[in-house]
Amino acid sequence: MAILISGSGSNMVALADSMTGDHPARPCLVLANSADAGGLAKAAARGIPTAFVDHRPYKGDRAAFEVDLARVLDAARPDILCLAGFMRVLTGGFTARYQGRMLNIHPSLLPKYRGLDTHARALAAGDAEHGCTVHEVTAALDDGPILGQARVKVLPGDTPETLAARVLVQEHALYPAVLRRFAAGDRRVVRLP
């Protein structure tokens, strides 16, 4: 399975470190959209092949960027793709190419708060509960079939940063749990805690 990242790669590390023993999957590539993604070094330190396709030279031409992204991906022949803090919005053409085998983690209890700033929006709405979701990727942003959700209580005095930190801990438990099932062909929804 291939993992796509944009930043520090903490979810990538959680996924990679979970794929041991009788786990049905193994990482074959960590791919970033920038050479500066901190997760690349963490992947290399784990002996996982890494690559990057910098999106900036494409000046917003997503289709052209995705042609090169797919070329690098397909050379690694992944069965499953996991978006893990990958911050580029993908076109319908790209999501169709990997339909049914591409997952994403999103820091909210979908369908609530698609898009960005999910923690601040949950706090602004006065929600008592928040969390994260793993879903299949489709053409609609943050919208595909849900494969797992983890919930956290919103605490008095929470800020977007303190809430994000507690959600991230749940992300690192949820994504590996979903991947282990998904890689075994089991699409039953994982619910944490």
Q: Which amino acids are annotated catalytic?
A: 106
3-state secondary structure of 121: helix
Give just the sign of the alpha carbon dihedral 5, 137, 90, 159. Answer: negative
Tell whether residue 105 is a contact of ligand GRF (CB under 6 A).
yes
Tell whether residue 7 is a contact of ligand GRF (CB under 6 A).
yes
Tell whether residue 30 is a contact of ligand GRF (CB under 6 A).
no
CB of 67 or CB of 166, closer to ligand GRF:
166
3-state secondary structure of 125: coil
Q: Provide the token pair at 148.
A: 């797992």
CA dist 191 and 193 (Å) reads 6
Q: How many residues bind ligand GRF (CB under 6 A)?
A: 14
In 3D space, the residue among 142, 143, 130, 133 whose CA is nearest the CA of residue 174 turns out to be 133
How does strand 129-136 pair with strand 146-153?
antiparallel
Q: Smallest distance from the beta carbon of 39 to ligand GRF, in angstroms?
A: 6
- CB of 190 within 8 A of CB of 177? yes
Of residues 84, 90, 147, 174, which one binds ligand GRF by CB under 6 A?
Answer: 84
CB of 165 or CB of 189, closer to ligand GRF:
165
CA dist 69 and 128 (Å) reads 40
Of residues 27, 78, 107, 131, which one binds ligand GRF by CB under 6 A?
Answer: 107
Of residues 19, 51, 67, 168, which one binds ligand GRF by CB under 6 A?
Answer: 168
Q: Smallest distance from the beta carbon of 30 to ligand GRF, in angstroms?
A: 11
Interface residues toward ligand GRF, by CB under 6 A? 5, 7-12, 84-85, 105-107, 168, 171
